[in-house]
Amino acid sequence: MTVTSDQWHIDEGWLAAARRVPSPNFNARPAGIEPELIVIHGISLPPGEYGGPEIESLFTNGLDPDAHPYFAEIAHLKVSAHFLICRAGALTQFVATDDRAWHAGESCWQGRENCNDFSVGIELEGCDDEPYSDHQYESLQSLLAALRKAYPRIRGDAIVGHSDIAPGRKTDPGAAFDWSRVQRDCVEAIE
């Protein structure tokens, strides 16, 4: 994916570099609250399969429960994330970052519950035990830099996995996610 640096800015909660697919699954953040945390997730639908429209369908309430046995279990869910980064690195944005996406569920970070209130959710197309692609890490680095520029309260240590805010309930982005690469990229982006 080739984008120019001016595409990596956020205006009124929307990233210029991302394709917009608005989700109905969001609401306003509590008054006076802006993003302070980034939560990285992993998702594939059906599990272990990539490249189809099912993730987008899930986040826009259009997933066909009859298309796959697993979909019957999840099609009723009202969920979303702010961003999805597909295997090729392309970005889709479902919810403005100024709004609250429904990605974290029951969650807690540093003693604060309801992480949806103060976080941005980024889904990576993948699964816990398979490495994410270089294209995904490249897009993630640019996205993290854009988010940290738009929301200065997001510190380097405030980039966590779903498993960190919902331990025992969630495992994503999984053991195959390269946290050292993300941390290194964040430091390089600041320098």
pLDDT of residue 188: 57
> What local confidence, expressed as pLDDT, does residue 5 receive?
64
Report pLDDT digits (tens) over 35-52. 999 999 999 999 999 999
- Give Cβ neighbours of residue 43 (< 8 Å, ≥ 6 apart): 55, 84, 123, 124, 125, 126, 172
Average pLDDT, consecutive stretches of 10 residues, N- to C-terminus, the chain (191 residues): 67 96 98 97 97 98 98 98 98 98 97 98 97 97 95 92 97 97 71 45
C-alpha to C-alpha distance for 123 and 92, rounded to whole angstroms: 10
The domains of the chain are located at 15-44+80-190
pLDDT score of 187? 56
Contacts of 184 (CB under 8 A, 6+ apart): none
Which tokens go with 106? 């029951």
The pLDDT tens digits of the residues spanning 90-125 come to 999 999 999 999 999 999 999 999 999 999 999 999
Tokens of 173: 């982005």
Q: Which residues are catalytic?
A: 123
Residue 161's beta-bridge partner residues?
Answer: 40
According to the model, what pLDDT value does residue 16 have? Answer: 95
Q: Look at domain 15-44+80-190 and name its CATH class.
A: alpha beta
Long-range contacts of 45-52 (CB under 8 A, 24+ apart): 45/70, 45/71, 46/70, 46/71, 47/127, 48/127, 48/130, 50/86, 50/87, 50/125, 50/126, 51/86, 51/87
Q: Can you give the pTM of this predicted structure?
A: 0.94
